[in-house]
Amino acid sequence: MPTTIPPRDSSIRTADVQAALRALRLNTVELLRQPGLRRDVDVALAPADLDVTDERLVGDVVVALAAESTVDGIVVSGTVGVRWGDECRRCLAAVERRQAMEVNELYQDEVVDDDAFELGRDALDLSSTVRDAVVLALADPPPLCRDDCAGICPVCGADRNLATCGCDTVVRDDRWAALEQLDLEAPDDLN
Local confidence band at 8 (pLDDT 50, 70, 90 cut-offs) = very low
User: Which residues form the domain of 114?
Assistant: 10-137
Greater confidence (2 vs 143) lies with 143
Half-sphere exposure of residue 3, counting CA atoms within 13 Å on the CB side? Answer: 2
Look at residue 34 in the predicted model and tell me its pLDDT.
87
Question: Is 52 contained in some domain?
Answer: yes
Look at residue 152 in the predicted model and tell me its pLDDT.
93
Q: Say which range, 53-57, 63-67, 145-149, has the weakest mean pLDDT.
A: 53-57
Contacts of residues 44-52 at CB distance under 8 Å and 24 or more positions apart, as own/partner, are 44/20, 45/17, 45/20, 45/21, 45/130, 46/17, 47/82, 47/134, 49/17, 49/20, 49/21, 50/127, 50/130, 50/131, 50/134, 51/131, 52/131, 52/134, 52/135
Closest of 96, 99, 102 to residue 56, by C-alpha: 96
Question: Is 1 contained in some domain?
Answer: no
Structure pTM? 0.72
Q: Are strands 94-108 and 116-118 parallel, antiparallel or unpaired?
A: parallel
Question: Is 112 contained in some domain?
Answer: yes
Look at residue 14 in the predicted model and tell me its pLDDT.
54
Count structural domains, the chain.
1
Question: Is 106 contained in some domain?
Answer: yes
Local confidence band at 182 (pLDDT 50, 70, 90 cut-offs) = confident
- 71: region left, alpha or beta (phi > 0 left; psi from -120 to 50 alpha): alpha
Question: Is 102 contained in some domain?
Answer: yes
As a whole number of angstroms, the distance between CA 98 and CA 81 comes to 7
Look at residue 189 in the predicted model and tell me its pLDDT.
64
Question: Is 82 contained in some domain?
Answer: yes
Residue 123 pLDDT exceeds 90 = no
